[in-house]
Structure 1
Amino acid sequence: MSLNLHQDVSMAETDDGAVLLHQRTGRYWQLNPTGVFVLKTLLDGRTDEQAADQLAARHRLDTADARRDVSRLVSQLRAAHLLTEAR
């Protein structure tokens, strides 16, 4: 499943990661550099599992831990209505 930012969400990269702003609600999320890496990987069309595998390789993490972290991030971003499934 491929993901996109919700049409009302914009992303601005910062020195410390990125900020996601939901323009309709005015709510925003801050992501650290690792979160930005995962989000960009997902927005490039990779699956959650592929993003987790790349995260684990990049940071020498246990794959199961990386998959759990990616799943948690995706769940939180979906719950905040920041991500939608690509069509």
Structure 2
Amino acid sequence: MALRFATDVSTASTDYGTVLLDQRSGQYWELNPTATLIIEALLAGQDEAAATDAVVAEFDIDRERAQNDVTQLVAELRASGLAA
């Protein structure tokens, strides 16, 4: 499923990954390069399987671990109210 950030969430790219700012709470989230690749794929309309494929190709990790990373990141972003 594609991902979209809440309207009160701002993003900024950094040399290390991506920073998210929840303007409602003032909290910052720093995403590492793996998480950045995942959200870029999902924000572009790809599904979680495609995001998993991108992680496997980019970081040479096994598919099960990549899929767990994708699932966990999406769940945390949604649980925090940052994404829908």
- TM-score bin, normalised by smaller chain: over 0.9
Shift of 1:28: 1.4
CA RMSD of aligned residues (A): 1.0
* Bigger strand share: 1
Q: Which has the higher contact order (CA 8 A, sep 6+)?
A: 1
Unaligned runs of 5+ in 1: none
- Aligned counterpart, 2:69: 69
Cα separation, 2, equivalents of 1:54 and 1:13: 19
**One-letter amino acid of the structure 2 residue matched with residue 61 of structure 1:** I
Shift of 1:63: 0.8
* Count of residue correspondences: 84
- Taking structure 1 as the reference length, what is the TM-score of the superposition? 0.90
**One-letter amino acid of the structure 2 residue matched with residue 58 of structure 1:** E
- Taking structure 2 as the reference length, what is the TM-score of the superposition? 0.92
Cα separation, 2, equivalents of 1:63 and 1:27: 31
Shift of 1:14: 1.2
- Aligned counterpart, 1:23: 23
**One-letter amino acid of the structure 2 residue matched with residue 29 of structure 1:** W
- Aligned counterpart, 1:82: 82
Identity %: 44
Cα separation, 1, equivalents of 2:18 and 2:3: 18
1:4 alignment partner, SS class: coil
1:3 alignment partner, SS class: coil
